[in-house]
Amino acid sequence: MSKHTVVSLFSGCGGMDLGFLGGFRFLGKTYKKRDFEIIWANELNKAACATYSHNISKNIVNGDIWDVIDDLPTSADVVIGGFPCQDISVNGKRAGVDGNRSGLYRAMVETVKRVQPKIFVAENVKGLLMEYNKFSLHRVIEDFEALGYHVSYALYNSANFGVPQARERVFIIGTPIGHMEFSHPKPKITQESWVSSESAISDLELVEEDKTINHTWSRAKKSPDQGSRQLKAERPATTIRAECHGNIQFHYKLDRRISMREAARIQSFPDRFIFKSNLRETERQVGNAVPPVLAWHLAEYIKDHLLKSSNNLEEVRIAI
What ranges make up the beta strands (E) of 189-268?
A: none
φ/ψ (deg, to 5) at 25: -115, 140
CA 273/CA 23 separation, integer angstroms: 12
Q: 297-313 burial, b if ≥16 CB within 10 A, otherwise e?
A: bbbbebbebbeebeeee
Residues 6 or more apart in contact with residue 291 via CB below 8 angstroms: 15, 19, 158, 161, 163, 165, 167, 267, 268
Beta bridge partners of 61: 42
| Phi, psi angle pair for 293, to nearest 5° | -65, -40
List 13, 49, 85, 244, catalytic entry: 85
Assess whether 49 carries a catalytic annotation.
no
Q: Give Cα 259 distance to the centre of its chain.
A: 20
Tell me the catalytic residues.
85
